[in-house]
Amino acid sequence: MYAEERRRQIASLTAVEGRVNVTELAGRFDVTAETIRRDLAVLDREGIVHRVHGGAVATQSFQTTELSLDTRFRSASSAKYSIAKAAMQFLPAEHGGLFLDAGTTVTALADLISEHPSSKQWSIVTNCLPIALNLANAGLDDVQLLGGSVRAITQAVVGDTALRTLALMRADVVFIGTNALTLDHGLSTADSQEAAMKSAMITNAHKVVVLCDSTKMGTDYLVSFGAISDIDVVVTDAGAPASFVEQLRERDVEVVIAE
């Protein structure tokens, strides 16, 4: 596991549990206590956690920093593809419709969809430029890329034109990516325009499936685009804090842990 991914998991675990212990973290991640102390020092400098004697406690700040696509693909990459594979079970019946949100884990899912024997029988709508290109290059005919402005950092299409088009559409399933997930703030991201697109997809889909690796749990970004009550399914990885998973299930959210 890369140091960056380990630190993101530590940040999420701290946010969920409220407090973490150096010794317990060292055992969980199979590293030395000194490595954990360095991780906590980095997270403390970034304002993500507060260091205390023997560990760290959570902060309540809302994040606004967005990472590049390349950085996001590298972060928790193995978890993303495991999550994408597990999410395949929620694809609609043949001739069904689906929304694919812009996000790296959803992009991994789109790669798997392109290889599925029924891929040409689904109607797919996306606001993600890489996803649309990948599916078109795979020979899928019924793929619609929403029109509008393209955000360079995420390659997501946003804006009023795309929102007006989405308002006229319905899908059996939407696969949504998120920058963060908490019980209080729900699903959140850094940009209000992308949040609006995600929210519209959620509103106009019968089933909402959130693809969320464990490093995003317990963290908050500035703009909320969906409440816990909006979510039908969360697909995550084995690193998800057990207490957080249990709380999601208590709120009637189906949680699938990818192998």
Chain mean position to CA 106:
8
39 and 155, same domain (yes or no): no
Same domain assignment for residues 103 and 225 = yes
Predicted confidence at residue 48, as pLDDT, reads 75
Instruction: Say if residue 105 is in the same domain as residue 186.
Output: yes
Per-residue pLDDT of the chain (259 residues; tens, 9 = 90+): 678 778 878 887 887 777 889 999 999 889 999 999 999 998 888 777 888 888 888 776 555 555 555 555 555 577 889 999 999 999 998 889 999 999 899 999 999 999 998 888 999 999 999 999 999 999 998 999 999 999 988 899 999 999 999 999 999 999 999 999 998 889 999 899 999 999 999 999 999 999 999 888 888 888 899 999 999 999 999 888 888 999 999 999 999 999 8
Asked if residue 202 and residue 178 are part of one domain, the reply reads yes
Are residues 212 and 91 located together in one domain of the fold?
A: yes
Does the residue 213 lie in any domain? yes
User: Taking the alpha carbons of 142, 191, 84, 98 in that order, is the dihedral positive or negative?
Assistant: negative
In the block, residue with structure tokens 């084995």 = 238
Asked whether residue 63 is assigned to any structural domain, the reply reads no
Domain span at residue 112 reads: 69-257
Residues 108 and 165 grouped into a single domain = yes
The reply to whether 174 falls in a domain is yes
* Domain CATH number, residue 170: 3.40.50.1360
Residue 243 belongs to some domain of the structure: yes
Is 31 in the same domain as 80? no
* 162 found inside a domain: yes
Summary count for the chain: helices (H), strands (E): 10, 15
> Based on the domain organization, do 50 and 73 belong to the same domain?
no
Q: How far apart are CA 85 and CA 258, in angstroms?
A: 8
Instruction: Report CA-CA distances (Å) from 72 to 27, 78, 94.
Output: 26, 12, 32
Distance between CA atoms of 156 and 101, rounded to whole angstroms? 8
Q: Are 88 and 40 contained in the same domain? A: no
Domain assignment of residue 40, yes or no:
yes
Asked if residues 90 and 209 have their Cβ atoms less than 8 Å apart, the reply is yes
Return the CATH number at 20.
1.10.10
Residue 64 maps to a domain: no
Close Cβ partners of 8 (under 8 Å, ≥ 6 residues apart): 75, 76, 215, 216
Number of domains in the chain: 2
Tell me, yes or no, whether 202 and 125 share the same domain.
yes
Report the pLDDT value the prediction gives residue 65, as an integer from 0 to 100.
59
